[in-house]
Amino acid sequence: MYSEKVIEHFMCPQNAYSMPDADAEGSSGDPACGDALTVYIRVKDNCIKEISYLVFGCCASIATSSMTSVLAKGKSLDDALKITEEDIIEALDGLPENKVHCSNLGVSALHKAINNYYEKTSRMEEHL
């Protein structure tokens, strides 16, 4: 049912921790299945230098959250915004059809975190 990569990211999720001093965060949830994800980012020179997350959900939600963090780490904010659900599914060697929606959780929370960062930095610039 699940690929080896999905099982690997479920059993040993990467970057799964809280980041109290994050530059920004974004949350997403899927009321249909009860999954919830918060992504934290630390940005330097317009690149994601550190990314972490806390996720509550099924095997696929945990695996897609982990893979989202792996794909986004080290990317420029603009490149990270280009990460798609399909990118996550492909990087995990596929998901069962009934779990494809889980990939949206990571993309949505990542995009919200980046947008939160942009909002915070534009407000800081207004006060300078």
Q: To which residue do tokens 């947008």 refer?
A: 115
Q: Which of 113, 103, 120, 118 is nearest to 30 (CA)?
A: 103
CB 74 within 8 A of CB 48: yes
Q: Torsion-angle region of residue 93: left (phi > 0), alpha (psi -120 to 50) or beta?
A: left
CB 40 within 8 A of CB 51: yes
Residues annotated catalytic, as ranges: 33, 102
Token pair of 24, please? 């920004």
